[in-house]
């Protein structure tokens, strides 16, 4: 039995990249004025800014800073590049700490020059190495399984089952999972794996958008919730039944929507969100 439509905004979070044309000040001001309660900050939105002050600015707008996007990209055939990736993840942990969020989302990475198994091994080693620093900073790390169409170069973790396996292997309170409907909606094991993730207390984030037919770009053609074929309410029901009480994060990459007036787009985000 699916839950009722949401109808109010107390759990609505928007990713800065969703309204990419806005800088983070404009995003914060507009989100807050529209009743959005949470913000997930993409690292590019912090470029050239004082991160601590930016975090304060967001809190001054009564926005919860849900997570920092994104760390990850661990695998590489070149050990030097793997080391650089780890350094960049350490920097992300510092940034998250300065910003005042308790979560980093990991797009784990993949290298088409090596096997998925090797990439997964490097992902696991990379996360394991970060746990002490994440723990010291009070930052959790969320493994985000990505759609299999990104298995070549963006993530060798392509199902929630794989993310759950890795979380269980790493067995740390600082490591969990981000569930994004765009990446996982097609998976026949999704309900079961969301339940498993909840039992592990590892369900750290819930990202929403929609899959349009046709989708014309591998990255930047996501839809507003309700615009596509993803059974978002059903998946939200599973996620909430698994004990998740966090934000519903609207994460839309869309060349089409980025061309729109962003205030108008934000209105559409809110209207569509209430109906999921």
Of 50 and 169, which has the nearer Cβ to its own copies? 169
Of 162 and 167, which has the nearer Cβ to its own copies? 162
Q: How far is the CB of 78 from its own copies (least distance, A)?
A: 16
Q: How far is the CB of 181 from its own copies (least distance, A)?
A: 12
208-211-214 Cα angle (round to 5): 160
Q: Show the site string, 165-194: x = touches its own copies by CB under 8 A, - = not.
A: --------------------xxxx------
Taking a C-beta distance cutoff of 8 angstroms, is the pair 39, 13 a contact? Answer: yes
Neighbours of 232 (CB within 10 A): 23
Beta bridge partners of residue 175, listed in sequence order: 141
Neighbours of 32 (CB within 10 A): 16
Taking a C-beta distance cutoff of 8 angstroms, is the pair 226, 210 a contact? Answer: yes
Residue choice 211, 238, 244, 265 for contact with its own copies (CB under 8 A): 211
84 binding its own copies? (CB under 8 A):
no
Q: How far is the CB of 149 from its own copies (least distance, A)?
A: 4
Of 218 and 263, which has the nearer Cβ to its own copies? 218
Q: How far is the CB of 184 from its own copies (least distance, A)?
A: 9
215 binding its own copies? (CB under 8 A):
yes
From the list 77, 132, 131, the residue with the least C-alpha distance to 143 is 131
151 binding its own copies? (CB under 8 A):
yes
Number of residues that bind its own copies (CB under 8 A): 27
Looking at residues 61 to 80 of the shown chain, list those that interact with its own copies (rule: CB under 8 A).
none
Q: Which two tokens stand for residue 188?
A: 């026949």
Of 140 and 183, which has the nearer Cβ to its own copies? 183
Of 136 and 149, which has the nearer Cβ to its own copies? 149
213 binding its own copies? (CB under 8 A):
yes
Q: How far is the CB of 234 from its own copies (least distance, A)?
A: 8
- Contact residues toward its own copies (CB under 8 A) are 112-113, 115-116, 147-149, 151-153, 158-159, 161-162, 185-188, 211, 213-216, 218, 228-229, 231
């Amino acid at each position: 039995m699916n839950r009722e439509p949401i109808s109010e905004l107390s759990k609505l979070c928007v990713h800065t990249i969703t309204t990419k044309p806005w800088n983070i000040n404009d995003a914060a001001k507009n989100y807050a004025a529209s009743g959005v309660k949470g913000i997930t900050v993409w690292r590019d939105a912090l470029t050239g800014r004082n991160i601590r002050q930016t975090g304060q600015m967001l809190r001054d707008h009564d926005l919860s800073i849900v997570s920092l996007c994104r760390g990850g990209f661990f695998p590489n055939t070149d050990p030097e590049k793997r080391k650089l990736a780890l350094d960049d993840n350490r920097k992300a942990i510092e940034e998250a700490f300065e910003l005042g969020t308790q979560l980093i989302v990991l797009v784990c990475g993949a290298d088409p020059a090596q096997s998925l198994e090797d990439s997964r091994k490097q992902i696991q080693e990379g996360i394991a190495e970060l746990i002490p620093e994440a723990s010291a900073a009070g930052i959790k790390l969320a493994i985000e399984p990505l759609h299999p169409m990104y298995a070549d170069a963006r993530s060798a973790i392509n199902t929630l089952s794989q993310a759950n396996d890795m979380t269980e292997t790493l067995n740390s309170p600082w490591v969990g999972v981000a569930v994004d409907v765009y990446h996982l909606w097609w998976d026949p094991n999704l309900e079961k794996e969301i339940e498993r993730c909840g039992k592990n207390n590892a369900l750290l984030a819930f990202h929403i958008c929609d899959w349009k037919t046709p989708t014309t770009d591998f990255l930047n053609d996501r839809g507003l919730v309700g615009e596509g074929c993803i059974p978002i309410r059903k998946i939200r029901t599973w996620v909430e039944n698994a004990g998740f009480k966090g934000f519903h994060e609207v994460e839309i990459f869309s060349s089409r929507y980025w061309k729109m007036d962003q205030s108008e787009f934000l209105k559409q985000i809110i209207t569509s969100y209430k109906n999921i």
